[in-house]
Structure 1
């Protein structure tokens, strides 16, 4: 657990720093329009997930909302793997993609919880929003963004060897740890039936399609399109479980975590990311 916590803190900070350094090269106002477009498009993912879980999976409102919250939010680790994949392919992406990563942690969680709690008057929204905004993922990502933005590229030279030079190696160690955690969720999937497996494979493909269409409309590069598709295709298993546990305690966590961590996460890092990259090359018409 100590290793998991330490590596997750490192990865979150490193991604935030990289995004902040890239953001320092742009005026924040330039990103307002793209951010609004991305957030608007991202709201489709939890809504679609909720409808599928309710109508096809015959899940109750609480569990359907929990699934929607997990798939409406994003996976920082999956984003890190996609970034590393692009680096190996020598493909550049817009540096401000990390800003989208930070922003997209929040709306999907709120929409999923709202769908789960629709009609329930006792939901305490202010404590829930506070829990989401002060969660480890958001605080570290936003903190890294601010530090990177204030320091800029020149000011961050002294920390580059630590946070960027060691990034790939520590990411590999973190993925090995995640593999052990994922293996522990296989039993949950066996108990839950074929629907969760199908859901865990279908949702990233639908999300990636929405992300690619959004990237095309924004005029992103092949690298940027790949990262945005990956964000839309990913599912949270760090921020979402904590928020759902607080807001929808009656939901069965083995369903949402089993699908997001046991199916979607391994699918994305083995097959999904190369597939999204190839689709971006075909759709955007960019270079390899």
Structure 2
């Protein structure tokens, strides 16, 4: 081993120590604690047969998928508009749209309460119109709105960069051949944005799966996996179940990220 290789290994030692201390050891400990409960390692099977845990998992997956689809749909429209139009105040608008990046989940939840809570703006407007007070902040609808608001800036920044890299000549060629706006979007723009959509969709999905602050703020009638894990180890002191649910959440999210990463990579290769 020459001096350059020895230096490389020496420089890698801090990285290895960091990974060991802050990733591998905590993960091993979580796996061990999950197997220390009364059911032993069968705790992983128990959480899959517990009706409440299964319902919570399905609700979390449904919510995360819905947030991802809504975020991507809004993000594509806004990114196409902002990337292809220059107008006074555009920079201010972009900065306002990316402002939620600076907000923690608790602040987002508080904003949803101010908007759609019992004393919220929407409820006041609907009541003044004689439609009754509309309150949805403390339900899945409120959590959905909060997650979309929280995820949209992360998707928008990436999609704007991807739109700017698209060759406008392809869209012009499609229009010259008689394609309408929808056909151009379906056959030219969306395939060109597929890698970016896949990557940002995975980020939005993972964020919604594991987000806790917003759910904690709005948790009156909300039962998602992050809140279930929290109540298991704080209120019930059921550490084995909490660890098993944490690993299930992590594995599902990791699987989605790995699958989309492979898909995005093959899409980029094909596009190249």
**TM exceeding 0.5:** no
TM-score by length of 1: 0.28
Q: Per chain length, whose mean CA-contact separation is higher, i.e. which structure has more relative contact order (CA < 8 Å, sep 6+)?
A: 1
Larger Rg: 2
